[in-house]
């Protein structure tokens, strides 16, 4: 009985960890999509100096603005802003997408490893056998096949 409780606890822990990895994977994939869309949006700015655009000012709110040049102010982290050209900005974004792709790959590998360990635990649990329930022989005399069928050597 104690082994079953321990097994159920381990299976529950695996399930929770796999759900966390899945959530992280979804967040990374969302980031990749957003960065890719941003990268495509920058292409539309090339050659648009003097044209009116809708500039986002926050959560779905836009202001009509005139693009005075193709230099962008880019947050490079820690509230540090620098002037970058569109190609320079695209390069930064592509590097960020690459890092996200690497994180996605690492999370996928972690998910596969977790799944393998989960399946191994299930396999071991299926092969486990409690003496006295499946047969009434001692450990030394008990023989079990891969299907969990047990018998006594006598």
CATH number of the domain where residue 139 is located: 1.10.287.370
Strands (E), 2-144: 52-58, 61-66, 72-75, 81-84, 142-144
Chain CA centroid to CA 105, Å: 8
Taking only the tens place, the pLDDT of each residue in 62-84 is 999 999 988 999 988 888 999 99
d(CA 82, CA 75): 7
- Asked if residue 15 belongs to a domain, the reply is yes
- Asked if residue 39 belongs to a domain, the reply is yes
| Residues 18 and 114 sit within 8 Å (Cβ to Cβ) | yes
- Asked if residue 139 belongs to a domain, the reply is yes
| Helix, strand or coil, per DSSP, at residue 151 | strand
d(CA 145, CA 147): 5
- Asked if residue 83 belongs to a domain, the reply is no
- Asked if residue 44 belongs to a domain, the reply is yes
Taking only the tens place, the pLDDT of each residue in 101-123 is 999 999 999 999 999 988 888 88
What's the domain range around 24? 2-67+97-152
Structurally, how many domains does the chain consist of?
A: 1
Position 134 pLDDT exceeds 60: no
- Asked if residue 76 belongs to a domain, the reply is no
The model's pTM: 0.71
Average pLDDT for 135-140: 63
d(CA 136, CA 95): 65
- Asked if residue 77 belongs to a domain, the reply is no
């Amino acid at each position: 009985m104690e082994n079953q409780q321990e097994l159920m606890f381990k299976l529950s822990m695996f399930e929770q960890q796999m759900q966390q990895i899945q959530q992280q994977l979804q967040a990374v994939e969302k980031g990749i999509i957003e960065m890719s869309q941003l990268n495509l949006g920058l292409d539309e700015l090339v050659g648009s100096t003097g044209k009116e655009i809708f500039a986002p000012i926050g959560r779905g709110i836009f202001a009509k603005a005139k693009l005075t040049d193709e230099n962008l102010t880019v947050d490079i982290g820690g509230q540090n802003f620098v002037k970058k050209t569109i190609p320079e900005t695209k390069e930064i974004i592509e590097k960020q997408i690459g890092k996200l792709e690497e994180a996605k790959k690492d999370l996928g590998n972690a998910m596969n490893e977790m799944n393998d360990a989960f399946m191994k635990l299930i396999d071991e649990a299926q092969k486990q056998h409690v003496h006295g329930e499946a047969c009434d022989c001692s450990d030394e005399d008990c023989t079990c096949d891969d299907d969990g069928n047990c018998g006594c050597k006598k």
